[in-house]
Structure 1
Amino acid sequence: MTIKAVVFDIGNVLVEWYPERPFDRILGEARRKELFAQIDFDTMNLESDRGIPMAEGLERLVDAHPEHAAEIRLWGVHWLEMLAPDLPHSAKLLRALRAKGMPVYALSNFGDMTFAMAEERYPILKEFDKRFVSARMGVIKPDPAIYQMLEEGVDEAPEALLFIDDRAENIDAAQARGWHGHLFETEQGLADRLMAEGLLTEAEAAP
């Protein structure tokens, strides 16, 4: 089936996501590695993506590790520094698709409050035709339910969707439903895929 819509992840596709950055800057890489080995930031972040406010999750970590309270709270204070920089060629590709009349959707594991912060920093996040944000849906990738919810929300067959994500397990889950998938590694790689699918010309896909 012809691709009728393109679905973008956000972190590491449109904007770099690197939580270690502010901790390395403030604490140094060695101390950051020690801290991340002791504190389960990953689970806290996933819970935020499911809809639990980040501030609540961080305070749970503080309660569990009061001796690291100041370091744990760096996550909230410097969150926007983790989501940087933007990937301008990816944004150009998204805009080129929309300019040709191709519907473009977001499907991202993201907290509610943090997504609001992100869209104010990066206006490209407001340019989707529809946005499917995990915290607002109550489910995260790669749960099959989140893909089904998007299908129903855009009224497209799975085979009509091309999904771009930086995590193989998320692509695998989408492809299991019949979606086309592109594992994002570089902006040029994405441009090449869009050209190969006939969605953009070489000039339209140029940086």
Structure 2
Amino acid sequence: MTIDAVIFDIGNVLIEWQPEKFYDRVIGPERRAALFSEVPLHEEHQRVDEGVALADVVFPLAERFPRWGAEIRMWHDHWVELAAPEIPHSVRLLRALKRNRVTVFTLTNFGHDNYPMSQQAFPFLREFDREYVSGRLRLIKPDPAIYAHVEADCGIAPDRLLFTDDRQDNIEAARARGWQTHHFTGPEGWAARLVAEGLLSKEDAQ
């Protein structure tokens, strides 16, 4: 089946999304474990992906848990260090697709205000032909509505979209709409899929 557009998730596909690693470096693994057990950081962050400003989530959370106030505010004040580093092989694949004139989108659960911060830190996040960012759309994966929005906006038939994401639930939601999918577990497997689809040569995919 012909592929008319390749769609990348971002977190854990193009840049790492493992906030625990940042806190391990800054406050140590033991304090990090305590912080994450007491404060619902990941759960609250979903509100950012749904469209609430990062500061409007983080700062009230710091007030709710004053014992951890300084550490919670790091989620906002050190965002670029928190959502990092880039995954170099994945970035090379993105750019190889662009060189081959393959249309490339992103479909990402990301906040409307912290996404530009990450774009400034990682310029390759500005290279997509179209950006579907949950915080802007106020739709979030794996809600079928966000996939429907992509289809309506780009006008490409679902079976001509190839989507990669690290979360199985997001992949299953796309597959249910007829998209072609690849569950991302590392850039090597994604590279092999792009080669198998005829979108990249083996040399391009290195």
- C-alpha contact 1:195 1:202 (8 A) present in aligned 2: yes
Which blocks of at least 5 consecutive residues in structure 1 are unaligned? Answer: none
Residues 140-164 of structure 1, C-alpha deviations (whole Å, 9 max, x = no match): 1000000111111111011000001
Superposition deviation, residue 60 in structure 1: 2.3
Supply the distance in 2 between the matched residues of 1:72 and 1:99 (Cα, whole angstroms): 41
**Farther off after superposition, 127-136 or 64-73:** 64-73
Supply the distance in 2 between the matched residues of 1:140 and 1:150 (Cα, whole angstroms): 12
Instruction: Give the AA of the match of 1:155.
Output: G
Count of residues in Structure 1 that have an aligned counterpart in Structure 2? 206
- C-alpha contact 1:22 1:78 (8 A) present in aligned 2: no
Superposition deviation, residue 22 in structure 1: 2.4
Alignment partner, residue 61 of structure 2 = 61
Percent of aligned positions with the same letter in both sequences?
Answer: 47
Alignment partner, residue 163 of structure 1 = 163
Alignment partner, residue 74 of structure 1 = 74
- 2:107 pairs with 1:133: no
Alignment partner, residue 9 of structure 2 = 9
- C-alpha contact 1:53 1:113 (8 A) present in aligned 2: yes
Structure 1 moving runs of 4+ over 6 Å = none
Give the structure-2-normalised TM-score: 0.96
- C-alpha contact 1:44 1:54 (8 A) present in aligned 2: no
Alignment partner, residue 177 of structure 2 = 177
Alignment partner, residue 25 of structure 1 = 25
Alignment partner, residue 114 of structure 1 = 114
Supply the distance in 2 between the matched residues of 1:8 and 1:23 (Cα, whole angstroms): 27
Superposition deviation, residue 62 in structure 1: 2.1
Alignment partner, residue 103 of structure 2 = 103
Superposition deviation, residue 15 in structure 1: 0.9
**Farther off after superposition, 137-146 or 84-93:** 84-93
Supply the distance in 1 between the matched residues of 2:115 and 2:57 (Cα, whole angstroms): 16
Q: CA RMSD in A?
A: 1.1
Which blocks of at least 5 consecutive residues in structure 2 are unaligned? Answer: none
- C-alpha contact 1:182 1:190 (8 A) present in aligned 2: yes
